[in-house]
Amino acid sequence: MPGSRRPLHPANPVVLVTGASTGIGLAIAKQLSERGDTRTIVSARDSSLPRLAAAGLREGERCRIHALDVTDPRQREAVVEAAERHWGGVDVLINNAGITYRSVTEHLQAAEATRQLETNFLAPMELARLVLPGMRRKRAGRIVNISSVSGMMAMPTMGVYSASKFALEGASESLWYEARCWNVWVTLVQPGFIHSSSFRNVILSEQARHAVADPGDPYAVVYRSMAPFIERLMRLSPATPEHVARRVLRVLCQERPPLRVSATFDARFFYLLRRLLPRRVYHAVLHRALPRVREWGSEEG
């Protein structure tokens, strides 16, 4: 059974999903279209639209396909305008599109950090800004931001990705207080490691690419231990994009959804670890668990 068969809130909603060409976004779009009680705007970057057709998603009475690069202000406005013209506006915004830079702090250029923050933080909040007036007028709406376990804990080589999700968490929390009075509910869905091929989409910063190829680089051992470590955790994870999508659909069926939802078992585990352990102990435990951490810094810098 795709998602829950309980009714959605609001009923028969117009749902906009970003980054639906693959992974979690595609799984959400498919599960929404299988339910048949939503009007869904499935969006993806222009170059990725053919993948939607290949996955069986086509335009129809209840489905519109729209090109949307979330970092492009004109495309953001166009998709929200189209939703207003055809279906009277967006009732549910699912900010899913995201990218992941992998780089140690020393190897990150400002332009790379900006691209990470634009995609994962600024764009979702700009889309929220565009749909909020319509939601306020209707006194109903949902904004679901796909965050991450990295929105509450940071790992080495993933600093700027974490920064983007921490920022998303902070801004969403603030919006949760602001929007409740209009019956607009904001939810942060936090997946942990997902068994998917998304690790292939990780973007190494330019300097990180050089460092990975250079055994003499002071950070070479950090990259060479962290990358397989993270990929192994993803491969071993029982959670799939479909699993996260079902969790998102359950949120849409809740009359008063919570601000934060752990979407996988490990996300719940890390949440409890962070909450229950004294901060110093928590960081010491995680540091010890890092792969080959005793070898880090052994190169001449």
Ligand X SMILES: NC(=O)c1ccc[n+]([C@@H]2O[C@H](COP(=O)([O-])OP(=O)(O)OC[C@H]3O[C@@H](n4cnc5c(N)ncnc54)[C@H](OP(=O)(O)O)[C@@H]3O)[C@@H](O)[C@H]2O)c1
Q: From residue 2, how far is each of 57, 101, 182, 287 by CA, in Å?
A: 15, 32, 30, 39
| Residue 226 Cβ vs ligand X, minimum distance, rounded to whole Å | 15
Asked about 219 being catalytic, the answer comes back as: no
| Residue 20 Cβ vs ligand X, minimum distance, rounded to whole Å | 6
Do residues 123 and 137 touch, judged by C-beta distance below 8 A?
no
Contacts of residue 83, defined as CB under 8 A and 6 or more positions apart, other chains included, come to 14, 16, 41, 89, 90
Q: Which residues bind ligand X (CB under 6 A)?
A: 18-19, 21-25, 44-45, 48, 68-71, 96-99, 119, 146, 148, 191, 193-194, 196, 198, 201, 234, 241
Question: For 85-116, b where at least 16 C-beta lie within 10 A, e where not — what string?
Answer: eebebbbbbbbbbbbbbbbbeebbeeebbebb
| Residue 287 Cβ vs ligand X, minimum distance, rounded to whole Å | 22
Cα separation of 141 and 277, whole Å?
36
Can you name the residues that pair with 95 across neighbouring β-strands?
145
Among 161, 177, 271, 282, the active-site one is: 161
Cα-Cα-Cα-Cα dihedral of 236, 212, 101, 228, to 10°? 0
| Residue 102 Cβ vs ligand X, minimum distance, rounded to whole Å | 13
Tell me how far apart the terminal alpha carbons of the chain are, to the nearest angstrom. 55
Task: Give catalytic residues, as residue numbers.
Answer: 161
